[in-house]
A = this chain, B = another copy of it.
Amino acid sequence: MYAKAREFQRKAPRQARARATVEVLLEATAQVLVERGYAGLTTTRIAERAGVSVGTLYQYFEGKAELVRTVHQRQVARAFDALAHKALSTEALAIAERIEQMLRALLEVKSARPSLSMALHATMLELDGPAYLERTISQTQSLVGSVLENHADDLRGVDLDLAAFVLTNAVDGVIEAAIATDRLADPHLIEALTRLVLGYLDGASAKLRVSGSNATSPG
């Protein structure tokens, strides 16, 4: 049904010039994909935009699917790395603060090339089917899972796996829509996302509810 995802370059570029060619091809792929969609992403066009010949393209990549998958992997890796880095650097913070910082980091990284994210999402869905989501999201999901686990004391009663799944995808859905409607820069977005996550966790844990949200402290 869907083509298998094959990995990485056909040939490891040894020389600097070759490495540069690979970069140029990947960037060209990203640009053309954003500008004309997957249907308009032809090997000729990629090569043209990259300033090399089609032959060269095939020297480094198996075809356009591999190019797209590579671009996607990089994009995903960038987002994941940013998130993971922030998760590490905020280990000492309280959960509410930590989540807000992580969401900030995520929004920032997504803001870099918003339309590329969208285009890649659609394309990967077409290339590898729903299975792609599973692969891609699961990584983030387990990162989120371990972060939650760090705060297990505050989250007693919360099904952490379920929470990781729900929150990761809920946040993703909102961000995707924000990209589509060009609201990524809306200053209220970060607040709303934070509230979404904390609200969910809050609704499941007595501890957090009392200590975590000081606004609730009664008169």
- The proximity string for A residues 156-179 relative to B, scoring 1 for CB distances below 8 Å and 0 otherwise, is 000100110110111111101111
Q: Smallest distance from the beta carbon of A149 to chain B beta carbons, Å? A: 18
Copies of this chain, count: 4
* Chain A, 101-133, CB within 8 A of any chain B CB: 115, 118, 121-123, 125-126, 129-131, 133
* A215 engages B209 (CB within 8 Å): yes
Count A interface residues, CB 8 Å. 61
- The proximity string for A residues 178-201 relative to B, scoring 1 for CB distances below 8 Å and 0 otherwise, is 111101000010001101101111
* B115 engages A130 (CB within 8 Å): yes
* B118 engages A35 (CB within 8 Å): no
Choose one: B118, B123, B159, B170; the contact of A130 (CB below 8 Å). Answer: B118
Q: Which residues of A contact B (CB under 8 A)?
A: 1-2, 35-40, 115, 118, 121-123, 125-126, 129-131, 133-134, 137, 159, 162-163, 165-166, 168-174, 176-181, 183, 188, 192-193, 195-196, 198-204, 206, 209-210, 213, 215-219
